[in-house]
Amino acid sequence: MQLEPVATVLVLLVGLLVIVGVGVKLYDLKRKREAEAVHLQAQVSDALLRDPNIYGLAVTPTAHVPWWSGTPARLEVVGRVPTPESRERALRLVEQEAQRIRPDIVLVDHLEIDAAVGARVA
């Protein structure tokens, strides 16, 4: 008769350990995905800064890496460029750099063409 409370406590303890273990694994996965997104975003930003035709333009990449592996990362490119050519150049550069790091990228283009930007940069 005394064995039943001990078994209940052991089952609850094991259940609690499993819940804590799952929580730790999920936190670790989240941290890894955030680090992956930061790395991708930093590499693409550096590539944009190295290009003399895009340097000085307000083009900002933002990376989102999903939790589940096998799901493509999303890279949003936001900003204003002076010409359609500079827009295409920026998108091509972003895509090439992102593909070099991670081949499963979905590029989301939010670049706007604003001729006044070219006057301010020049």
Superfamily of domain 35-121: Cation efflux protein, cytoplasmic domain (3.30.70.1350)
Q: Tell me: the pLDDT tens digits for 57-66?
A: 889 999 999 8
pLDDT attached to residue 2: 66
pLDDT of 121 above 60? no
| More confident position, 64 or 119 | 64
The arithmetic mean of pLDDT across residues 96-117, rounded, is 89
> Which of 88, 91, 80 has its CA nearest to residue 120?
80
3-state secondary structure at position 81: strand
Q: What is the mean pLDDT of the chain?
A: 89
What type of residue sits at position 38? V
Whether 114 shows a pLDDT value over 90: the answer reads: no
pLDDT at position 1: 52
Provide the pLDDT for residue 6: 86
Kindly tell me if the per-residue pLDDT of 79 is higher than 90.
Answer: yes
Quick: pLDDT tens for 36-56: 999 999 999 999 999 998 888
Check pLDDT > 60 for residue 122. Answer: no
Task: Report the alpha-carbon distance of residue 120 to residue 17 in Å, rounded.
Answer: 60
- Cα–Cα distance, 31 to 38 (Å, whole number): 11
Residues 6+ apart with CB under 8 A from 73: 36, 37, 40, 63, 64, 65, 66, 98, 102, 104, 105, 106
Two structure tokens written together for 16: 């609690």
> Rounded to whole angstroms, how far apart are CA atoms 53 and 89?
9
